[in-house]
Structure 1
Amino acid sequence: MITPSEITASRVPASAYFGVSAIFHYLGPALAVVLFARVDVLGVVWLRIASAAVVFALWRRPWRLLARRTPAQRRLLLGLGVLLAAMNTAFYLAIARLPLATVGAIEFFGVIVLAAIGMRNGRNVIALVLAVGGVLALTDIQFAGAPLGFVFAVVNCALFMLYVVLGHRIANTGAGISGIDQIGAAMLIGALVATPYCLGAAVPAFTSPAALLAGIGVGICSSVIPYVTDQLAMARLRRHTFALMLSLLPAVATVIGIVVLDQVPTVQELIGIALIAGGVSIHQQAQENKEN
C-alpha cells in the first residue's frame, strides 16, 4: 500500500534520491572494509543483510505483502531476495581482495550495457560516451595478483545488472503496491538465504559491541538507505536513464575523498568528473514507455 509519506516523497526530484543513494553506496562499503579487520567477510555480509532485514521488518512489516501476492509476484520477490544475498556476498568477497574503485569500475561495465540498450537518439549516445570516458579517467583498474577477486567482481557486475532490472520492475509494479515494501520482503528472504553460510562467520561480532554496532551501521548505510532511495528514483526514471546516472558513483567517491579525507584530486580525475557531469547533463529522458 502506498502511504501518505510516499506520496509526499514522490514530489522530491528523482535526482535527489539518486544522490543520497550514491553517497551511501560508498560510505557503507568503506565502513565494511574497516570491519573486515574484526569480522570475517561472510560475517560482515550476514550483519549487513540481517540488520537491514530487521529494519525493514520493524518499519514496513513486509510479510503482510507476501501473503497477498500472486504466485508469480512471490517468485519475483524470491528471486530478488536470492539475488540480494548473492550480490552482496560477491561484492564483499571482491572488495576484500581488490581496491573498491577497481570493483566499482568493473561493476560499471554492466551498467554500460543497460544504458546502451535504451539509447534512442544521438544525443543520448554522446551522453553515454562522455560518461564512459569519465569513468575510465577516474578509475585505475589493476587485476594483477588477485585473480579470485576479479572473478568475484565480474560475478557482482552480472548480479548488479540483474538488480537494476528487477529493482526497476518492482518500483513500477503499480496497482498501489509499494516498491519499498517489496524490497523489504526481498531483504527478509535474502537474510534467510544468507544465514546458513554466513551466520557462523558473524558470531565474533556478538562478543564485541563496537563490531556489532558497526555491522548494523553497514546494513543501514548499504542496504536500507540506498535501496529505499533507489526505489524512489527508479519509480520515475527509465531503466537506461538510471543506469547512466550510476556513472556518477566514481565521481561521488572522489568528492567524498575531497570533503572527508582531504584527498586532492588529480587533473585527470577532475577531467573525469567533468566528463561524467557533462554526459548526465545532456542525457534526455523520453517520457513514453518508461519500462525501456
Structure 2
Amino acid sequence: MSNTLWQRLLPSLAVLGSVTSLCVGTSFAKHLFPVIGAQGTTALRVGFSALLLLAIWRPWRFGPTRANLAQIAVFGAVLGLMNLLFYMAIKRLPFGITVAIEFIGPLSVAVWTSRRMLDLVWLALAVLGLFLLLILPLFGVQVGALDPVGLLLAIAASACWAGYIVLGKRAGRMHGGMVVSLGLLSAAVVVVPFGIAEAGAKLLTPSLLIYGLAVAAVSSAIPYSLEMFALKRMSHSGFSTMLATEPAVAALAGMLLLNEQLTVIQWTAIGVIMIAAMGSALTARPQETQPQVAEGKLAAPA
C-alpha cells in the first residue's frame, strides 16, 4: 500500500476505531447495570471521563472567565442529562436502536440550520426510520417489541444531543479541550447524585471503580484522541459521514457482546437513519453546522 493511500485511509480508520471503542466501552458498561443500575454506571463513566480529560487538558491553564464558566456549566448540564437519559434508555432498549434514535437530534439540527429542500429528503428518511421502529407496531406489524419508556428516554436523549450541539456551537470560540473537560466536570456534578441515589456505597467498591475507569478510558479518552487526530486530517463532512456508521456498529456490538438480536425491520430502520445522517453530512455546505454535529459526539454517551 502506497504512503499516499495510507495517509488517506488513516483518518477514516481513526474515526472507525473511535466509533468501535465507544460502542465496545458502552457495551461493557451495560454489564454494570444489574449491580449499580444505569444511573450508577453513568456516574462512574462520566465521573472518570471528567477526571481523565481534566488531567489531559488542565483547563485552568486557559484562564476561563466567569462568563466562560457559566456558559460551560449549562453546556455540561445538558451533556450530563444526555448521558443519563441515554444509559437509562439502553437499559430498556437494544443498543443499536437507541443510538439510531439518538442520531435524530443532530440530524434535526443540521436540517433546521440549513433550510434547504434537499435536507428535507434526509429528514424524511429519518422520519421513515422512526416510523418503522415506532409506528408500524401500532398497526400490528411484527417489528420487534420495544419498551415504550425506553423509547421516550431515547427520544429525550436525542433532544438533549440537539441542545448539546447548539450550546457547543456557542461555546466554539473557547478552547475545545477546556470546554469538553470542564463540561464533563459539570456533567458529573449533574449525574453523580443520581448514581449515589441509585447505587449508594456500591459505587466505592474497588473492583467497580477499576471497571468504571476502564469503561471511561475506552468510551471517552481513546475515542477523543482518535477523533482529534482524524478531525485535523479530513473534512468535517467526511468525518460526519464516518460517524454516521455508529448505529450499525452499536447494533453489531449489542449483538456480539450483549446478545441483543434485532429483526429485519429494525435493521432496515437503522440503515435508513444512517443513510439520512450520511446524506446530510455529504451534502452540507461548508458554513453549515456539520462540525458541531460531528464534534458533538466526542463527549456523548455511546
TM-score, with structure 1 as normaliser: 0.71
**Any conservation in 2 of the 1:42–1:198 contact (CA below 8 Å)?**
yes
- Superposed CA RMSD in Å reads 4.2
SS in 1 for 2:46: helix
The answer to whether the 8 A contact 1:47-1:215 is kept is yes
Q: Trace 1:145-184 onto structure 2 (pairs within 5 A).
A: 146-170=147-171, 172-173=172-173, 177-184=174-181
- Consecutive unaligned residues of structure 1, counting only runs of 5 or more, are 1-10
- After the TM superposition, which residues 193-272 of structure 1 pair with which residues of structure 2 at under 5 Å, given as runs? 193-199=190-196, 201=199, 203-209=201-207, 211-226=208-223, 237=236, 247-256=244-253, 269=267
**What is the count of residue pairs matched by the alignment?**
273
Q: Is residue 58 of structure 2 the alignment partner of residue 57 of structure 1?
A: no
1:41 corresponding residue in structure 2:
38
Per the alignment, residue 110 of structure 2 pairs with: 115
DSSP 3-state at the match of 2:103: helix
Specify the alignment match of 1:283 in structure 2: 282
The equivalences for 1:62-101 within 5 A come to 62-65=59-62, 68-101=63-96
Shift of 1:78: 0.8
Unmatched runs of 5 consecutive residues or more in structure 2: 1-7, 138-142, 293-302
Q: Where do residues 127-138 of structure 1 align in structure 2 (5 Å cutoff)?
A: none
SS in 1 for 2:53: helix
Assess, with a 3 A threshold, how the Cα gap between structure 1 residues 127 and 195 changes in structure 2: closer, same or farther: closer
Question: Structure 1 residues 128, 24: closer, same or farther in 2, change over 3 A?
Answer: farther
1:98–1:149 contact (8 Å) kept in structure 2: yes
Q: 1:148 to 1:22 in 2, by over 3 A?
A: same
Structure 2 distance, partners of 1:95, 1:283, is 29
Cα distance in 2, alignment partners of residues 77 and 214 from structure 1: 28
- Give per-residue Cα distances to partners, 1:181-204, cap 9 Å, x unaligned: 220111122223333332352531
Alpha-carbon distance in 1 for matches of 2:152, 2:128: 24
Q: Could you tell which deviates more after superposition, 274-283 or 103-112?
A: 274-283
Q: How far apart, CA to CA, are the structure 2 residues paired with 1:105 and 1:147?
A: 16
**CA distance in structure 1 between the partners assigned to 2:96 and 2:261 by the alignment:** 16
Higher mean C-alpha deviation, range 28-37 or range 200-209: 200-209
Q: Which residue of 2 aligns with 1:6?
A: none
CA distance in structure 2 between the aligned counterparts of 1:277 and 1:109, rounded to whole angstroms: 12
Pair 183,153 (structure 1): closer, same or farther in 2 beyond 3 Å = same
Q: Compared with structure 1, are the counterparts of its residues 125 and 17 closer, same or farther at alpha carbon in structure 2 (3 Å cutoff)?
A: farther
CA distance in 1, matches of 2:151, 2:286: 38
C-alpha deviation, 1:107, in angstroms: 1.5
In structure 2, do the counterparts of structure 1 residues 257 and 207 end up closer, same or farther at CA, with 3 Å as the change threshold?
Answer: closer
**Tell me, what secondary structure is at the counterpart of 1:40?**
helix
Q: Is the 8 A contact 1:130 1:279 kept in 2?
A: no
> Kindly tell me: are residues 57 and 110 of structure 1, through their superposed partners in 2, closer, same or farther at Cα, counting changes over 3 Å?
closer
Residues in 2 aligned to 1:270 and 1:85: alpha-carbon distance in whole angstroms: 30
8 A Cα contact 1:80 1:163, kept in partner: yes
SS of 1:220's equivalent in the other structure is: helix
Do the aligned residues in 2 keep the contact of 1:14 with 1:237 (CA within 8 Å)? no
In 2, Cα distance between the equivalents of 1:156 and 1:278?
Answer: 19
What percent of counterpart residues are identical? 29
